[in-house]
Amino acid sequence: MATEIKGIVTRRIDFKENDEIISVFSQELGRVPLLVRGAKRANSRYKALTQLFTYGDFGISQRDGLSLLYQGETIDYFSRLKMNYQAMSHAAYLCELINQVGVDYQPDPELFTWFLTCLQLMDEGHEPEGLTLAFELQILMRLGIALQLSGCAICQSQQIIGFSLAMGGFVCANHAPQNRQQLVDQPLVIKTLIALSRQDVSTLVNIKLPTEVKPILRQVFDQIFEQYSGLYLKSQKFLSTDLKF
């Protein structure tokens, strides 16, 4: 069935001598595995379209498994993002999350909007760290891991004193772990976590993390993903190493 989708390339793999298989996260169909014939030929008209992060219009012949690209136009290459190492490593991580959490041919238009908005803002020069954390919260929700960030995870009290990984959210003095080393209790980190949890896609543009909070929240989110998500994320490790300053 011939159909048109708008999507972003999240992965590309060499296939046979001249072809490529790309993964496109699309508004209309969710993740779409796509065979691009002749993509590796020097004169291929799809050279730009099949690059990682390219946002484009894809005319596809839709099949059950691998669909086939028959025409396409690039909408945005995100070229400024690609020139910024920090932004690029974060964008690559978002792609990896999509690759692991997205389901072929199952649309999630809201997640698509989050993904596109994050890439656009990174391309415009917004700091990638906060955008990435907000996006990760979206991914966690889709994995059924809802962090309790609106009160104590146990009793809903608003008198919270910190974040506990073991409790999966904020805790009050009564429900804080005995070992206080397991509590993330810096006021600025708590404030930032609350702000992130209230973010919606239209306010992503306003995210700006205090510098001292970045490595702490990165570590917290790494631990959440490691313990709860069941995902193995290569580029996340890379991101954490990158952020140790």
Q: What are phi and psi of 240, to 5 degrees?
A: -65, -40
Give burial (CB, 10 Å; 0-12/13-18/19+) of 72. Answer: buried
Q: Does 175 bind Zn ion (CB under 5 A)?
A: yes
| 48 is a site residue for Zn ion (CB under 5 A) | no
Give the shortest CB-162-to-Zn ion separation in angstroms. Answer: 11
Question: Sign of dihedral through CA atoms 151, 143, 51, 67?
Answer: negative
Nearer residue to Zn ion within complex by CB, 154 or 233 = 154
Q: Under the criterion CB under 5 A, does residue 172 sit at the interface with Zn ion?
A: yes
* 186/106 Cα distance (integer angstroms): 40
Binding segment for Zn ion among 15-23, 101-109, 123-131, 167-175 (CB under 5 A)? 167-175
> Given candidates 36, 39, 116, 152, which one binds Zn ion under the rule CB under 5 A?
152
User: How many residues sit close enough to Zn ion to count as binding (CB under 5 A)?
Assistant: 6
Decide: is 167 part of the binding site for Zn ion (CB under 5 A). no
User: Rule CB under 5 A: is residue 157 a binding residue for Zn ion?
Assistant: yes
Shortest reach from residue 53's CB to Zn ion, in Å: 43
**What are the beta bridge partners of residue 9?**
24
Given its phi and psi angles, is residue 23 left (phi above 0), alpha (psi -120 to 50 degrees) or beta? beta
Pick the stretch among 44-52, 123-131, 142-150, 171-179 that binds Zn ion (CB under 5 A). 171-179
154 binding Zn ion? (CB under 5 A)? yes
- Residue indicated by tokens 């792609």: 95
Footprint (CB under 5 A) of Zn ion, residues 79-118: none
Minimum Å distance from CB 174 to Zn ion? 5
Q: Write out the DSSP string of 4-48.
A: EEEEEEEEEEEETTTEEEEEEEETTTEEEEEEETTTTSTT-TTTT
Does residue 160 bind Zn ion (CB under 5 A)? no
- Nearest CA to 222 out of 192, 198, 244 is that of 244
Q: Does 2 bind Zn ion (CB under 5 A)?
A: no
Q: Which stretches of the chain bind Zn ion, using CB under 5 A?
A: 152, 154-155, 157, 172, 175
